[in-house]
Structure 1
Amino acid sequence: MNITERIGAARMSGYQWLVVALCTLMNCLDGFDVMAIAFTGPAMTDDFGLTGSQFGLLVSVGLIGMAVGSMLLAPFADLIGRRPLILISLALGTIGMFGAAMAGSVPVLGLFRLVTGIGVGGILASSNVIASEFSNAKNRGLAIGIYTAGYGIGATVASLVAKSAVGGDWRIVFYAGGFGTLLALVVVAALLPESVAFLEQRRPRGALERINRTLARMGADSVSEADLDRAASARADAGRTSAGWLKQLLAPTVLLWITFITIMFGFYFVNSWTPTLLAEEGLSESAAVTAGMAISIGGTAGSVLYGVAARVRAPRVVLIGFSLLSAAMMIVFILSTSTLWLGFGIGVVVGALINGCIAGAYTVGPPLYPSNVRSIGMGWALGMGRIGAILSPTIAGMLKDAGASATQLYVGAAAVVALCAVALVALRRHDPESAPAAKAPATA
């Protein structure tokens, strides 16, 4: 077995869970960033005199940056390493958040939102891979669930900061995000190791020593140069048989793209527009932020709940259930917000389900591809998913300006999320993990 296969079959060590925790911390930045623009939406709209379309475009600029970061920055992780790219991306995120806090006009604010998005996109593409590579097979779904929960944690922190700033300066939220990203940069620089898979495949100078140092921290046996040579030979043989992989896997690839697009459409609609829509439907700004915070709180637990469920049933089957329930509860939520306590409770459920869908997409995708093209397959799936993330707030803003109500917008977004289940049903015959017996055994 190569090193990655050994890690997949071995027990999870405390050091591996530390790496997952660091990746979760980085995913918190995504949640804080998206919800920073969402929770400051009402105040920002008043400050700059924005229309619905303008605000939707401002949200989409950040998401466009994420797509650029995911698809254009991520490939450099295979050249310079995952860790250096993450540090560069964290630096971009820090600059973007502080720049947005100090922006004096909408174009300048949009520019720094783009920079922040590029940084976040680079972080997500690399940290997701590292979390998966440092997890064993048995706990990979749970590890990705915990990683995805970082979004909800970051979003909840953003909501608390925004709630304390209601009636004050919305820029406080972006200053807080800048300091948080800077802190993450310091912590990650001090503690995050380079990906063992990257070191094994690229073998930069000192690779063997760095691999064995990381394996020692994991409590695993060391490897030799001969082991790395054998792994390289096996990869070369596999590479010669993988030509035309996209054509061979076209059907599952398209279905996976549809899954990501529909889930991210609903996810970013719920997380980006909820406070602004509820405020314009008559709720106070504080109550609207509270309802949005309920969704963030639910999201923190939902992805972990998905990970636990995916240890019992096939991840694809669990994701079908989560997507259908998400669509249904989105409609129930928007019909219940006139009663704040009821809307808050249902908002927690919506946040849990839609965030669990994101964890599910991250978990269902990798087994569809052979290991030697898995990063390419997942990287493009993430990038395509951003199409849904970009279109969601923009379309919502255009429909809102055309007279659509919050209820109508929520029902439309729910219908898009429900389409995910259709794609997942069609994906069944391509999914090697649909049968519980197909899952690779691994110790805890």
Structure 2
Amino acid sequence: MTPSKRLDIQEFLDTRPFAGFQWRILLLCLFVLILDGFDIVAMGFIAPALVADWKMPREALGPVLSMGLFGLAIGALMGGPLSDRFGRRRVIIGSVFFFGLMSLLSTWSSSIEMLSVFRFLTGLGLGASQPNAATLASEYAPKKYRSLMVTVVYCGFTLGAAGGGFLANWLITGWGWPSILFVGGVAPMAFALLLAAMLPESAKYLAAKAHGRVALERIVNRIAPGTANAHTEFMLPERAVAGKGAVKMIMSKPHTVTTLALWVGLFMNLMTVYFLNSWLPIMVKDDGFTLADAAMVGAMMQLGGTFGNIVIGWLMDRWDAYRVQIGALLCAAGFTIALGQLSLGVTGLMTLCFLLGFCINSANTGWTAMAASYYPTSMRATGTSWMTGIGRFGAISGASIGAVLLGMHWGFGQLFLALTVPIGIAALAAAVKGLQERGHPRMADRSPPVGTARPPA
């Protein structure tokens, strides 16, 4: 009889070179976020054309923007527990197809109410797909590249958002504002079919589930042929806590303070980001610039975030993540003050918005990198997605507050100065998280092995 061999899945993945299998997962998850980014900020880019087409005041778009973000929040809250129960792969594929279908259907909207409903439904799929794609990527990443892999995946969001800005003028000029939503619908539906053929399940998720050993053995041997067989015992360095739901686990000691700090930090960060995503093009246009200038300024902010995501992930893998996060947020506050105080031409405005996007969008991604690195496998998808879901209510607040302040006729400078408040609170939350982790480092426990025998057919 062949002797049993114990294989620690975390150690196995940490010691593998970053080869073709990991590159495939990275690229697939990256493209999920590209599609997410394009669709999430689509309303911000089409808002000026929609206001002109439907002949309504700009603040009337508040319900559309808020309902889409509310759908994102609910989708994230649902997606994490579903992923921890049914697997990352199924949730990602289903949610990508769903938000594509809803975006496609929204092109036929004929009223604010109808468009609001479809944006809510689109948001459900977007909210579930984004944190689960980041979770899956993090679970295949070697430890020394984990934060970088998560933040590179989140570059997809800013790439997709920037692409929306660059495409907006061309598509809207030729085919009207519904063309943005049409592209944001067809592309995800087609990509969901590719994901079904190419996206693997998380090896760590399979190791935590007794029924996953056959698929896990196949994945391990694809990464390193000949490593596993029917007698291999698969183990995780984290022990699942029996009898507790994942949501209860992330709120129980020693995770309570860290979980709350992550929630507050991302809430405030997303309040700032979605205030800008939703209203920056209109703010720029109302300040005397053209519609083309407004689209380019918005795109430059997203492009800055793309570069910032790579830098912050690289830094977090080398220094204390919370210190890097605080630095990014303080720099973002400095750039919002500059935008509020300086009178700039379009070139200066694009430059400062690029730098602001570099800092604030990378900090936004930094929360996900910190959560994915902090929570153990048994609660990682729930911890990450619940943080994202709570944060989405900050996004809703940002879009709604923007509508109120614009309705009160706040000026360009006043709006930017107001953003220093949520940014400062986010920096404080990052400091609390860092101090809590230093005082109570997370213990790495060892889980019982997945059984050596194959389950019956």
TM-score scaled by length of structure 2: 0.88
Instruction: Please state how far the C-alpha of 1:388 moved relative to its aligned partner.
Output: 0.6
Higher helix share: 1
Distance 1:70 1:337, change over 3 A: farther
Q: For 1:402-413, list aligned pairs within 5 A.
A: 402-413=408-419
Match of residue 215 from structure 1: 220
Match of 2:277 in 1: 271
Out of 190, 195, 198, the residue aligned to residue 202 of structure 2 is 195
The residue type equivalent to 1:122 in the other structure is A
Q: Distance in 2 between matches of 1:23 and 1:98?
A: 22
Distance 1:240 1:102 in 2: 47
Structure 1 residue 233 displacement after superposition? 11
Asked whether the equivalents of residues 294 and 348 of structure 1 are also in contact (C-alpha less than 8 Å), the reply is yes
User: Cα 1:367–1:208, aligned 2, differ >3 Å: closer, same or farther?
Assistant: closer
The range that moved more, 302-311 or 405-414, is 405-414
Q: CA deviation at 1:223?
A: 3.3
3-state SS, counterpart of residue 102 of structure 1: coil
Task: Map residues 230-269 of structure 1 onto 2, 5 A cutoff.
Answer: 231=235, 235=239, 238-239=241-242, 246-248=251-253, 249-269=255-275
For 1:231, the aligned partner's letter is M
What is the letter of the counterpart of residue 306 of structure 1? I
Q: Which residue of 2 aligns with 1:119?
A: 125
Q: CA deviation at 1:280?
A: 1.6
Out of 68, 74, 91, the position equivalent to 1:85 is 91
Which residue identity lines up with residue 211 of structure 1 in the other structure? L
Q: More displaced, 37-46 or 331-340?
A: 331-340
In structure 2, what residue type is equivalent to 1:196? A
Query: How many Å separate the matches in 2 of 1:155 and 1:420?
Result: 23
Q: Indicate how the Cα distance of structure 1 residues 198 and 337 shifts in structure 2: closer, same or farther if over 3 A, else same.
A: farther
Return 291-300 or 372-381, whichever deviates more: 372-381
What SS does structure 2 have at the residue aligned with 1:431? helix
Structure 2 residue 437 is matched with structure 1 residue 431 = yes
Secondary structure, aligned partner of 2:235: helix
Instruction: Indicate yes or no: 2:363 matched with 1:357.
Output: yes
1:182 aligned residue: 189
Equivalent pair of 1:41/1:55 in contact (CA under 8 Å) = yes
- Structure 2 counterpart of 1:235, which letter? R
Once residues 40 and 92 of structure 2 are traced to their aligned partners in structure 1, the CA distance between those partners, rounded to angstroms, is 19
User: Which 5+ residue runs of structure 2 have no aligned equivalent?
Assistant: 1-6, 445-457
Kindly tell me: are residues 139 and 433 of structure 1, through their superposed partners in 2, closer, same or farther at Cα, counting changes over 3 Å?
A: farther
Distance 1:36 1:73 in 2: 22
User: Is the Cα–Cα contact under 8 Å of residues 28 and 199 in structure 2 kept in the other structure?
Assistant: yes
Matched, 1:164 2:170: yes
Amino acid across the alignment from 2:179: I
Contact kept in structure 2, 1:239 and 1:372, CA below 8 Å: no
> Matched residues in 2 for 1:337 and 1:79: separation?
53
- Residue 347 of structure 1 deviates from its aligned partner by 1.6
357-366 or 385-394, larger mean C-alpha shift: 357-366
Percentage of identical aligned residues: 25
Q: Where in structure 1 are there 5+ consecutive unaligned residues?
A: 440-444
In structure 1, the partner of 2:447 is none
Correspondences of 1:287-436 after superposition (within 5 Å): 287-336=293-342, 338-431=344-437
Residue 323 of structure 1 deviates from its aligned partner by 0.6
- Aligned length, in residue pairs: 433
Deviations 1:180-236 (A, max 9, x none): 2123213212211111122222343xx3332222222322653355544x6389735
Contact 2:172 2:179 in 1 (8 A): no
Q: 411-420 vs 164-173, which deviates more? A: 164-173
User: C-alpha distance in 2, partners of 1:129/1:172?
Assistant: 31
Q: Secondary structure at the match of 1:112?
A: helix
Q: CA RMSD in A?
A: 2.7
CA separation in 1, counterparts of 2:54 and 2:398?
22
CA 1:122 to 1:247, structure 2 compared with 1: closer, same or farther past 3 Å? closer
Q: Given that residues 68 and 120 in structure 2 are in contact (C-alpha distance below 8 angstroms), is that contact kept between their aligned partners in structure 1? A: yes
Distance 1:221 1:397, change over 3 A: farther
In 2: Cα distance, 1:293 partner to 1:119 partner: 24
Please state whether the residue corresponding to 2:410 is helix, strand or coil: coil
- Which stretch shifts more, 166-175 or 28-37? 166-175
Structure 2 SS opposite 1:388: helix
Question: In structure 2, what residue type is equivalent to 1:171?
Answer: P
Q: Which residue of 2 aligns with 1:442?
A: none
TM-score after normalising by structure 1: 0.90
By how many angstroms is 1:173 displaced?
A: 1.1
Contact kept? 1:142, 1:304, Cα under 8 Å: yes
Partner deviation per Cα, 1:143-187 (whole Å, 9 max, x = no partner): 011011001110121112102135451111111212221232132
8 A contact 1:13–1:219 mirrored in 2:
no
**Is residue 53–residue 394 contact of structure 1 (8 Å, CA) maintained in 2?**
no
User: Residue in 1 aligned with 2:143?
Assistant: 137
Cα shift at 1:28: 1.0
Question: What does 1:5-84 correspond to in 2, within 5 Å?
Answer: 5-84=11-90
Alignment CA distance shift 1:222-1:375 (3 Å) = same
- Give 2:261's aligned amino acid: L
> Is the 8 Å Cα contact of residues 367 and 432 (structure 1) preserved in structure 2?
no
Task: Please say which of residues 173-182 and 258-267 is displaced more in the overlay.
Answer: 173-182
C-alpha deviation, 1:426, in angstroms: 2.1
Structure 1 pair 190/337, CA: closer, same or farther in 2 (3 Å)? farther
Partner secondary structure for residue 313 of structure 1: coil
**How far apart are 1:296 and its partner, in Å?**
1.6
Structure 2 distance, partners of 1:308, 1:130, is 19
Amino acid at match of 2:267: I
Report the Cα distance in structure 2 between the residues aligned to 1:173 and 1:301, rounded to whole angstroms: 25
